[in-house]
Amino acid sequence: MKLIDFLVTALKSLSSNKLRSSLTMLGMIIGVGAVIGLMSVGRGAQAMVTSTFEQMGTNAIYVIPSSPGAGVAGIGMGAPTLSLDDAEALANPAYVPSAVAVAPISTNYAEVIAGNESAVTSITGTTPEYQGALNYSLASGQFISERN
């Protein structure tokens, strides 16, 4: 058989089973579209994570207090806290000569009330070094200073 004979046989088969052929093509189109869509979402998520790490810097180290054997950062285990003195010690070149910037942060959750509305939000306190340590930029206004 020649190639033309195969094509004629295939076209006859497709035209004699129109509903089956249409549903098969529709399934293939939906399947290919789903795979392309998932690949796009995956690449978008990867780009977002990569961008976040690039913004923070690949040389950033986070020090989180933890009790011995407490698991991930002492979550729920009554982890001890770090003090401002601990942050100042880490910033001291005599103790950590390769530290470029140290920015302590403290985060808590509290209820904020305005008029008849309320919401629970996170409240974060830090020092002016935070902006430079994590390469943050502001769209408008100014970052906190020692006077704040």
The pLDDT tens digits of the residues spanning 33-56 come to: 999 999 999 999 999 988 887 777
Nearest to 96 by CA among 130, 146, 61: 61
Rounded distance between C-alpha atoms, residue 54 and residue 52, angstroms: 5
Beta-bridged to residue 105, according to DSSP, are: 126
What is the number of domains present in the chain?
A: 1
User: Percent of the chain scored above 70 by pLDDT?
Assistant: 89
Q: Who wins on pLDDT, 40 or 80?
A: 40
| In a domain? residue 91 | no
pTM, two decimal places: 0.47
Show the domain range for 40.
3-56
| In a domain? residue 129 | no
| In a domain? residue 66 | no
| In a domain? residue 121 | no
